[in-house]
Structure 1
Amino acid sequence: MDKSGLAPRRTALYLLDQITGEGRLMAEMVASGVLERLAPEERARAQGLVMDTLRGMERADRMLQKHLRKEPSLTVKNALRLGVIEICARREAGHGVVNSYVELISRNKRNAMLKGLVNAVLRKFTTDGPEAWDALRTPRMPKWLRDPLAEAWGAKPIAAMEEVQFAGAPLDLTPKGDAAALAERLGGELLPTGSVRLRDPGQVTALDGYETGDWWVQDAAAAVPAKILNAQSGEKVLDLCSAPGGKTLQMANVGAKVTALDISADRLKRVHENLERCGLKAKVVQGDALEHEGKYDAILLDAPCSATGTIRRHPDLPYAKDGSGFFSLIELQEVMLDRALTLLNPGGRLVYCTCSLLPDEGEVQIEELLARNPNVQVDTVAMDLPWVEDAWRSPEGGLRLRPDYWADRGGMDGFYVVCLRLNA
């Protein structure tokens, strides 16, 4: 392990360059093996530093703005951002932080001549930087995303969501067995929906019950769609777009005959791994949802979407994307909804969900579906569960989950969920 701390910082700088410059997502890069050359604790440090920087990006940029006469190259700007986060937000010893980023830039042929700039700027934050950091407002989402969300939900709710996103996310687990017993065992909180929340979990694979498959990682909001579908033992159920498999595991756990379908063979490896670890069974199929054949008693469609509801866990998303692909996703959702209905047995039910905060990917999709298909109706009984809060209900009959709900508990992912029934 590199005791100087350069290795994780070098990796953090590379990751941040790839996210902000090349539009790559953190999960994609982790899966590619970028972090494999680091020791486990260095991997955690590099990832944590990047996540903290992305969450505090707007605040870091505001602090840097007054000290930069002109915009430096992206790599230099990202080195400065990382340095500001370490000094001001993480309260790391300024001398070591400054020296590390000066050294990293000096090794970069294209930017070596700017090592003096990095040194001069970062040193300005070593005395009163942390106090100046604390005085700034909560970082805001980039304008391209904030504007449409504020139009949908209002300025005050968006500010509340940003507070939750800036704080980061606790770890939620879906128990295979007794949720209350697992919460007590792990020292976690039993949420009203039945998920178990851990505030400071440490290494996930080292937690009690990981090796024995007693639980799987799944945000509390992401666990809601399968609870709404309420698959029964012996029912023939299709999980469309199933990877990484949390919802498949939920339905298999109650004895349903689950077919887990996903177009990505690589992502389906996670489904296989999770099923094996938890000792559960499902039929795993690699294929296109629009070409799948069969008839099912119940279907769960977690449609491809903007993922704008997951920013508290994935702060890279607003900086890796720019919203240009949203319209094609909305079109795909409509086609997949119509296709999924053709796979239902008469009287069957379909849960449609997206981890999005955009109404066009949730409420609007269902309003338009109901208008064009008189044989479909919202199953209001399925949506009427004791833990469903009134604030979650949307006018067309679905549930609108938002990051600022349960803010005092650490929030939840933004999700839209609705249960539909095909008339017999």
Structure 2
Amino acid sequence: MAMNAPAPSSPPHLDDTATGLPARRAAMRLLEAVLIKGETLEKAGAYCLSALKGPADKAHAKAIAGESLRWLVDLDTLIDGATKKPLDPHAKTRSVLRIMLAQALRLETPPHAVIASALPLLTGGQRRLAHGVFSALLKRNAALPDVPTLPENVQARWGERAAAIAAGLASPPPLDLQLKKSAETRERAEGMGAVSLAPGHLRLPRGTPVDRLPSYEEGAWWVQDLAASLPASLLGRGEGKRVLDLCAAPGGKTLQLAAAGWQVTALDINERRLERLRENLQRNGLEAEIVVADALAYTPGKAFDAILLDAPCTATGTCRRHPDVLHRIGEDELSETTTLQAALLRRAVGWLPEGGTLVYAVCSLEEGEGAAQAARVALDPLPISASELPAGLQPTPEGWLRTDPGMLAEHGGLDGFFVARWKK
């Protein structure tokens, strides 16, 4: 998208109390928290957004920061092409220019509003430099490519899959709902104007207000990406059998399993996140036993017919909704998560009785967190079949499932997951 408005030739007089300034300041702080401190957008939002008064300002700040991170490599290319020498990667001027360009090129904010609400974040020479660079890019009708450019280390890790994945990151994702009763799929889809890609699944346009949707209070559904619903669905109907949902919070898969007739034990180390699960169980009229424990120290008091291990991971598969992961994850984080995943898998295999089923899943696009882990499991494979998956998805030759944001693109894409299944 090009900017065609005329560019001011000199910095205008700016009111430092301009409308929208607090949201832009918060967006810049979010950006810096991710890129300098290595924090997640969610964690940084707890303090970066606290000064904003209403949900609209908070949503706007998050949108600016999110689009800045989604297109960061390309925004920096534009900035560097309009300066005599490259700005420091962490320079405040660069941060402000990133959020200015993200607003103009992605959020369609008029240039005069961008200038009035962002330049007050700078003073003196920094302000003049930012105004000059922004104006120069306006005059050139600067535009972003159709597909975001991935950071070099990410491209190297994802290899031949990188281009297809990047194509799925151009826009934030739509809203997916998982129904408590899959038999109601057609009726609910028609009533809510939704598209369904699988039994029990509904897809609505992004930005749809969740708490205003029909049947929210009655607990007929919960928010869950289509890909995130697949690991639990691969265990089938429970018919009263016992399942252990390891690392269960915030609980979408627990809800699925309970709705499918399983007796669920949901275990997680994070008590605060499990409280959210309790609330969702109550809202949806479902039951599960909740255990607050470290899975590496836990000893089951009963046998389970199945175990679902949705393991802690880098979460790079959620990059279309959490673009901060594109810039936070490196070899240290990967080493930490893969070590934990291997330990959790060993315990899960040891707890599984003869005839029991194990499903391992990660919302990751990293080979080391997916296929490399699955290859070391000494159980009989229970291959995933295409008939168990939404139309358009296929298992790998090994009988595993890999999804990424570039898949089902004509329907709005989906998160990246790796899923494998075994029988003991």
Structure 1 stretches of at least 4 aligned residues deviating more than 4 Å after TM superposition = 388-391
Q: Give the CA deviation at 1:3.
A: 7.4
Q: Which residue, out of 214, 224, 231, partners 1:208?
A: 214
Quick one: distance in 1 between partners of 2:94 and 2:200? 43
- Return 94-103 or 194-203, whichever deviates more: 194-203
Q: State the partner residue of 1:124.
A: 136
The Cα offsets for residues 314-346 of structure 1, whole Å up to 9 and x where unpaired, read as: 101112333322022112211111101222222
The Cα offsets for residues 127-185 of structure 1, whole Å up to 9 and x where unpaired, read as: 443xx315x352222111110211xxx1xx42121111122211111011212222212
Quick one: distance in 2 between partners of 1:24 and 1:412? 24
SS in 1 for 2:376: helix
Question: Which amino acid letter does the alignment assign opposite residue 116 of structure 1?
Answer: R
Question: Which amino acid letter does the alignment assign opposite residue 275 of structure 2?
Answer: K
Q: Which residue, out of 28, 39, 48, partners 1:13?
A: 28
Quick one: distance in 2 between partners of 1:319 and 1:122? 24
SS in 2 for 1:324: helix
* Counterpart check, 1:144 vs 2:150: no
Q: Which residue, out of 161, 172, 179, partners 1:175?
A: 179
Quick one: distance in 2 between partners of 1:270 and 1:214? 17
CA gap 1:228/1:321 in 2 versus in 1, 3 angstroms: same
Quick one: distance in 1 between partners of 2:385 and 2:251? 22
Query: 1:6·1:100 contact (CA, 8 Å) conserved in 2?
Result: yes
- Return 15-24 or 84-93, whichever deviates more: 84-93
Q: Give the CA deviation at 1:403.
A: 1.7
Question: Which amino acid letter does the alignment assign opposite residue 357 of structure 2?
Answer: R
CA gap 1:125/1:87 in 2 versus in 1, 3 angstroms: farther
Count of residue pairs the alignment pairs up: 402
Quick one: distance in 2 between partners of 1:137 and 1:175? 34
Query: 1:101·1:118 contact (CA, 8 Å) conserved in 2?
Result: no
Quick one: distance in 1 between partners of 2:392 and 2:185? 24
* Counterpart check, 1:279 vs 2:288: no
* Counterpart check, 1:133 vs 2:143: yes
The Cα offsets for residues 342-398 of structure 1, whole Å up to 9 and x where unpaired, read as: 2222211111111111222222222222xxx3xx21123x64535356863223221
Q: Give the CA deviation at 1:10.
A: 1.1
Q: Give the CA deviation at 1:236.
A: 1.2
- Return 169-178 or 268-277, whichever deviates more: 268-277
CA gap 1:166/1:173 in 2 versus in 1, 3 angstroms: same
- CA-atom RMSD in angstroms: 2.0
SS in 1 for 2:331: coil
Q: Which residue, out of 393, 400, 403, partners 1:401?
A: 403
Matches of residues 88-237 of structure 1 in structure 2 within 5 Å? 88-106=105-123, 113-129=125-141, 132-134=142-144, 136=145, 138-150=147-159, 154=160, 157-177=161-181, 178-192=184-198, 194-237=200-243
Q: State the partner residue of 1:410.
A: 412
Question: Which amino acid letter does the alignment assign opposite residue 229 of structure 1?
Answer: L
SS in 1 for 2:244: strand
Unaligned runs of 5+ in 1: 107-111
CA gap 1:333/1:193 in 2 versus in 1, 3 angstroms: farther
Give the TM-score, by structure 2 length: 0.89
Query: 1:190·1:197 contact (CA, 8 Å) conserved in 2?
Result: yes
Unaligned runs of 5+ in 2: 1-16
